[in-house]
Amino acid sequence: MIDGKPIVLSSDSEDFEEDGPLKPAADKPAALKYNKQTAELIEELRRTMRESRQDFVFACGGSVPIQQPTSVGKGPLTLPPISLRWDPQDPSTPASLCKLVIPGDPNTQQQQQQDVSGLVAEMAPATFGLGGKDVYDEEYRKAVKLDTSQFATNFCPYDVGIMDVVTKILVPALGDRTARAELYKLNVYEGPSGHFRAHVDTPRSPAQFGSLVVCLPIAHEGGELEVRHNDKTISFDWGSAIETGKEEPSIHWAAFYSDCEHEVLPVRSGHRVTLTYNLFAVKPEPIGAENKLDLPLVQYMDSVLKNKDFMPNGGYLGFYTSHAYPHTADSFTESTIKGIDRVIWQGFQSLGCNVRVLPVLHQDYIEMSDSDDEDFPDTVIGKGLSKMKIFYGQVDDSMYYKNYVLDSWGECEVQARDVLWLNQGMHKQMQLAFTAYGNEAETYVQYSWCAILVQVPAYDAEKGGRVEIAAEDTA
What are the residues binding Fe ion (CB under 5 A)? 201, 439
Q: How far is the CB of 110 from ligand AKG (least distance, A)?
A: 24
Coil, helix or strand at residue 120: helix
Number of neighbouring beta carbons within 10 Å of residue 74: 11
By beta-carbon proximity to ligand AKG, the closer residue of 201 and 407 is 201
Q: How far is the CB of 264 from ligand AKG (least distance, A)?
A: 5
By beta-carbon proximity to Fe ion, the closer residue of 83 and 148 is 148
Distance, in Å, from the CA atom of 34 to the CA atom of 19, rounded to the nearest integer, reads: 9
First and final CA of the chain: distance in angstroms? Answer: 8
By beta-carbon proximity to Fe ion, the closer residue of 198 and 329 is 198
Q: How far is the CB of 196 from ligand AKG (least distance, A)?
A: 5
Q: Which residues bind ligand AKG (CB under 6 A)?
A: 187, 196, 201, 213, 225, 262, 264, 274, 276, 439
CA angle in degrees (0–180, nearest 5) for 34-341-365: 85
Sheet bearing 195-199, strands edge to edge? 141-142, 195-199, 261-264, 225-229, 232-236
Q: How far is the CB of 258 from ligand AKG (least distance, A)?
A: 8
Using only the alpha carbons of the chain, give its radius of gyration.
25
**Using CB distances below 5 to 8 A depending on partner kind, what does residue 355 bind out of Fe ion, ligand AKG, none?**
none
**Using CB distances below 5 to 8 A depending on partner kind, what does residue 338 bind out of ligand AKG, Fe ion, none?**
none
**Using CB distances below 5 to 8 A depending on partner kind, what does residue 190 bind out of Fe ion, ligand AKG, none?**
none
Q: How far is the CB of 147 from ligand AKG (least distance, A)?
A: 12
Q: How far is the CB of 274 from Fe ion (least distance, A)?
A: 10
By beta-carbon proximity to ligand AKG, the closer residue of 196 and 320 is 196
Distance, in Å, from the CA atom of 225 to the CA atom of 143, rounded to the nearest integer, reads: 14
Residue spans of alpha helices (H) in 142-251: 162-170, 239-242
**Using CB distances below 5 to 8 A depending on partner kind, what does residue 379 bind out of Fe ion, ligand AKG, none?**
none
Distance, in Å, from the CA atom of 360 to the CA atom of 438, rounded to the nearest integer, reads: 20
Query: Nearest-CB residue to ligand AKG?
Result: 439
Distance, in Å, from the CA atom of 232 to the CA atom of 60, rounded to the nearest integer, reads: 13
**Which residues is 207 bridged to in the sheet?**
none
**Using CB distances below 5 to 8 A depending on partner kind, what does residue 293 bind out of ligand AKG, Fe ion, none?**
none
